[in-house]
Structure 1
Amino acid sequence: MSWTEYQQLIANRDQRSTPRLKYANGYLTLKMPTFEHGQLDAIVADLIVAILNQQLRDYVRTTPVTLQIPEQAGIEPDHCFWLNNWAAVSGNSRIDLATDPPPDIAVEVDVTNFTNIADYELFQVPEIWLIRGNVLAIFAFTSEGYAQTESSQFFPDIAIPNRYQQVMAAVAAGASPPRAIRSIL
């Protein structure tokens, strides 16, 4: 598929957020989020928001958002968070990576093995949080690409993958996601 055809597809989709689209190297991939996907996405986003609110930090969060590098790639993370650069995008109606900073954290929920972390390298998002079931993996952008790391540079004192597993265990034991998040914080 050409870049022009990809842009036409996005325009024809109008304001709908599904299907989620990924364009790279002339190929288009579609993702149709499921109920499970939506639940996992909400849990991790709510966990991030709860921690940020507890720390009294400013942020901008969005879902969905289309990040594009013209003529090269387009990607639609499940959630994006601007933490260090929140003021630069606050109030924007669109994100233009030619002038706006990329999100600090992009969240991808991968129920069907859709995500390839390398797809984010052009975008230079500092962290990709990849959720596969009860496991949250953090990938940090380096000069050599993405490398999995045990902690987040944005929450250095919190074992985020461990907290996520605690939330998921509490949900599996019958707690609602908000109660589970409150209980581990």
Structure 2
Amino acid sequence: MATAAPAKLQGTAQRFVLHDISWEDYQTFLKVLEDRPIRLTYDHGTLELMTPLPIHERYKSLFTRMIESLADELEIDYYSFGSMTLPSKLLECGLEPDACFHIASAGKVGDWKQYDAEVGPPPDLAVEIDVTSDSRPRLGIYTALKIPEVWRFDGEKLSVLILRNDKYVPSKKSLSFPLVPTDALAGFVQNYGDGTDRAWAKAFRSWVRETILPRVPNDREEDAT
């Protein structure tokens, strides 16, 4: 089913689409372009190559920093794998999220230096920045890869999508961070001012400590009672 593009795209990323590309050719593209800032999406013979714009990379960086800060402050174990390629030869598809994280499955990753997305557990959370392109056509690949949760940010709104019965449905709560009011997260990115990332991160961590940490059950107190 066709989906409409976001009403406002802040610039347009360079995009090239190739057809009738074999799985072996896709693997060759990955090797040749592995050190270049080019994003590849492969779906049953169709290969899309996209070069991200600076605004896309800034939002990507801020969301990565925000998610890592949430996990740090809430003392949740995680692995951050950035835009790691997630391929599946069996499913004939593969993509590179803007960011992805193992959170609930962090204990199953094993040797992260040798992590293989083809055989390892899928990331628990993927992030898509939709300010210069629309990621919704990629949701079919995320479904096939069984990524439990996808966040989409279009420059104004953060949409949390949860995989239910092989379909992504909007949710007000995150599976990975159920205590976090996700509708407030977009504001921290939108309101990024002229300061540095350090100042921004400090303000965000203060918000987490003041707003979210008081909601976290204190296991030690519960054990004492």
Same topology, TM > 0.5:
yes
- Determine the structure 2 residue equivalent to 1:86: 106
Counterparts of residues 42-81 of structure 1 (less than 5 Å): 42-71=61-90, 72-81=92-101
For 1:182, the equivalent position in structure 2 comes to 205
Q: Give the conservation status (yes or no) of the 8 Å contact 1:170–1:180.
A: no
Question: Quick one: structure 1 residues 9 and 38, their matched pair in 2 at CA, closer, same or farther if it must change by over 3 Å?
Answer: same
- Which residue identity lines up with residue 75 of structure 1 in the other structure? L
Pick the structure with more strand per residue: 1
Q: Measure, in 1, the Cα distance between the counterparts of 2:99 and 2:185.
A: 18
1:151 aligns with 173
Amino acid at match of 1:149: S
Aligned to 2:26: 6
Partner amino acid, structure 1, of 2:124: D
Partner deviation per Cα, 1:107-133 (whole Å, 9 max, x = no partner): 111222241222211101000111110
What is the aligned partner in structure 2 of residue 124 from structure 1? Answer: 146
Q: Label 1:82 to 1:69 Cα distance change in 2 as closer, same or farther (>3 A).
A: same
| Alpha-carbon distance between aligned partners in 2 of 1:8 and 1:169, rounded to the nearest angstrom | 38
Kindly state the Cα deviation for residue 31 of structure 1 after the two structures are TM-superposed. 1.8
In structure 1, what is the Cα distance between the partners aligned to 2:105 and 2:201? Answer: 27
Deviation at 1:56, TM superposition (A): 1.1
Letter matched to residue 170 of structure 1 = N
Alpha-carbon separation, structure 2, partners of 1:161 and 1:90? 33
> Among residues 10, 28, 36, which one is paired with 2:55 in the alignment?
36
**2:197 corresponds to 1:142:** no
Report the equivalent of 2:217: none
- Structure 1: gaps of 5 or more residues: none
What is residue 109 of structure 1 aligned with on the other side?
A: 129
Q: Tell me how far apart the structure 2 counterparts of residues 94 and 27 of structure 1 sit (CA, whole Å).
A: 28
Aligned length: 182
- The one-letter code of the counterpart of 2:192 is V
Tell me how far apart the structure 2 counterparts of residues 169 and 115 of structure 1 sit (CA, whole Å).
19
| Residue number in structure 2 paired with 1:170 | 191
SS in structure 1 opposite 2:112?
Answer: coil
**How much has 1:95 moved relative to structure 2?**
3.9
Q: Percent identity?
A: 26
- Range moving further from structure 2, 109-118 or 74-83: 109-118
Distance (whole Å) between structure 2 residues aligned to residue 100 and residue 120 of structure 1: 15
Shift in CA distance, 152/17, structure 1 to aligned 2, threshold 3 Å? farther
RMSD: 1.9
Taking the aligned partners of 1:19 and 1:44, their CA distance within structure 2 comes to: 19
Give yes or no for contact 2:158–2:185 (8 Å, CA) kept in 1. no
Any idea what SS the aligned residue of 2:87 has? strand
